[in-house]
Structure 1
Amino acid sequence: MGTHGDIHTPPNYDGLIQLKRLYLQSVPAGSIAFDCLVPACQVDWGFQDHLYNTILAKDATAYRPAQQYTRRFLKFLISSLERNLAEDEELHDSILTLYSDLMSKPDSASDATKPTFITYLLPPIQSFSKKDTQVVISERKSVLSADGHTGSRTWEAALALGEFFLFTPPSISKPISECRILELGAGTAFASILLSKLGAKHVLATDGDERVCETIQTNIGLNTHTNNISVSQLLWGPSQEDNFIYTEPWDLVIGGDITYDTRDLSDLVHTLKKLLETNKGASSKAIISATVRNEDTLHEFDTSLSAVGLNFEVKEVGESERRLWYYGSDTPIRIYTIGSR
């Protein structure tokens, strides 16, 4: 067995941070390319100690993934470590103890429907303080929640929208720090929370479902103690045209995966036009991230935007632009930048 105090090779910090990012996002273990993240020559006792303290220890994260997932992840991790152990090395006792403890704890019948904490690690860029290096979301990872709405998980288009703001300077007239931002159909409010951490002047996350708005308030509380983000219910279309939101100045309107239902497109476009026309003098823009599930649906969206006099540009989100988080599929994603004429 190797000497516990020795580290024969320098730890691969980038690989461990990416492994932690995948673990905290509760990525299916079978989709994690462990051998690409951790070269075999590094798996000695010292490396495992660093791995444990970086990813698995109690103080490594404020919100550990669900017990069922952590157990599956540890089974995968132990198998991967065993396969790559350096000669005369053994598995770290803390990793084995944690796995044994989780195996001894029975799951309850309600665990499958409980919301779990999903943590999205942010890149180490100057804009974030040390306490703001992650977005924590209470999610149900099933496609639909038990209540039947789609606002219980963070969809791929929202992740792409987040990466767009992190890595692609948007074509807007003000820096994010000077922007008042409105999110439509916010769901878990991942994008709103991210933009609040990027220092937006104010962010208002809206959704048409009252229960979703309650969850958004929970997610805001998990992430920030500042007053630059809030939540409000908003129904699209003419039914709520007297809502105060339409009289407020918005520099930026955003949305992630809100174009999937053709029954809602007319009301969505109506709302976008009203918001952008109200703030026309301020050169307000809308940035909408859309998963391409059905070309006909997005063609209808394009046609509806043009019909009401809104200009738009479309950017395809390539594989190289999905660099931070696990998306779960390679379904095409488009980002619309929309403005009034």
Structure 2
Amino acid sequence: MSTSTKLRVPHWRLELERDTMDAQKKNTPLAHESLIKLKRLYLQSVPAGSIVFDSLVPAGRVDWGYQDHLYNTILSKDATAYPPSGAYTRRFLKFLITSLEENLAEDEELHDSILTLYSDLMSSPDIVSDATRPTFITYLLPPIQSLSREETRVVISERKSVLSADGHTGARTWEAALALGEFFIVSPLPISKPIRECRVLELGAGTAFTSILLSKLGARYVLATDGDERVCENIHGNIFLNRNGDNMSVSRLLWGPCQENSTIYTNVWDLIIGGDITYDTRDISDLVYTLKKLLKANMGEGCKAIISATVRNESTLHEFDKELSTAGLSFEAREVGEPGRRLWYYESDTAIRIYTIYSS
């Protein structure tokens, strides 16, 4: 049986008035709040043309001190160990400098460090714009009491193109994975244990964004799996970037009967997760086979699967629903539309559906 509800959360592009209210509540200068938001967008390599810079820059009050703080917290070599690509930074600076110029306070000039960085990038012959090349994408987490200062971000080496140079789709973090990560941070979770007590298995992990996020949230153990060996190799690299080796590992897993004797099925799991793994109807039967086998084996642990699916085609998800019901699995679905994107930037307004699946 399925149910569908709407999750209504403010969109990532908050109005400047709301930023002001938040800053007042926290007794924090608006400029500081805006720089945090600007840093989030920059580190995620959000298309510079989509950023409303004028809403993030103090109107008519840009002085040297503000620019110095901006440079040191966002653009300098010490600001982050994994900056975006040079091609992206160059385009970001083009729009940023225009906004800074238009909002300079009286008798103020552009900061020389910002201009020097832009000039160096403009004259560099090595900077090319190639979406098939890997780049560092950093997803900043909101302040969470249980996280240390060093654990407030997830860094992923990914390609922003639809397909990697090797022809697979596991080289970028898809929006359903972002929504799934946001679900674990801001929503009451439909599981019997807190995350810190859960052994988590991710199916079709891709970049392993959600696995790494749950590891940072303190999960007892996380295993990221994918059917592609090259994707698994990339996951190892992303685990290293985030220093998550203590409670996280990687394994190759093919869905369906072809690998039914894998030791993964005999391990104990509290939570099964997956982001954007229902897009191909040819794989749905094998996916449901794997879900059923895992959930049945871990019924005593109260194990549930939480799967996030981008609603590209209703008929595809209808097939998923039908396969789940035929397999005797119960499920609920919550639909997250465009207003449900708050923590990170989402490139499209396509709806995302989050399933909670369990063996009854």
Same fold, TM-score > 0.5, yes or no: yes
1:120 paired to 2:139: yes
1:145 paired to 2:145: no
* Correspondence for 2:40: 21
Report the secondary structure of 1:117's partner residue. strand
Q: Give CA-to-partner distance per residue, 1:111-164, whole Å, 9 cap, x none.
A: 553211111111111121111111000001101011111000000000000000
| 2:215 pairs with one of 183, 196, 210 | 196
* Correspondence for 1:281: 300
Report the secondary structure of 1:23's partner residue. helix
5+ residue gaps in structure 2? 1-27
Give distance in 2, aligned partners of 1:312 and 1:112.
37
One-letter amino acid of the structure 2 residue matched with residue 229 of structure 1: M
Summarize the alignment of residues 1-341 of structure 1 with structure 2, pairs less than 5 Å apart.
10=29, 12-107=31-126, 112-341=131-360
One-letter amino acid of the structure 2 residue matched with residue 97 of structure 1: T
Alpha-carbon distance, 1:169 to partner: 2.1
**Are the equivalent residues in 2 in contact too, given 1:68–1:107 (CA < 8 A)?**
no
Report the secondary structure of 2:78's partner residue. helix
4+ aligned runs moved over 3 Å, structure 1 = 108-113
Give distance in 2, aligned partners of 1:159 and 1:212.
18
Count of equivalent residues: 333
Taking structure 1 as the reference length, the TM-score comes to 0.95
Alpha-carbon distance, 1:10 to partner: 4.8
One-letter amino acid of the structure 2 residue matched with residue 245 of structure 1: I
Q: Name the stretch that deviates more: 224-233 or 258-267.
A: 224-233
Give distance in 2, aligned partners of 1:339 and 1:275.
10
5+ residue gaps in structure 1? 1-8
Taking structure 2 as the reference length, the TM-score comes to 0.90
Give distance in 1, aligned partners of 2:234 and 2:55.
36
One-letter amino acid of the structure 2 residue matched with residue 159 of structure 1: L
Q: Name the stretch that deviates more: 308-317 or 11-20.
A: 11-20
Report the secondary structure of 1:330's partner residue. coil
Q: Name the stretch that deviates more: 282-291 or 217-226.
A: 217-226
State the identity %.
Answer: 77
* Correspondence for 2:23: none
Alpha-carbon distance, 1:227 to partner: 1.3
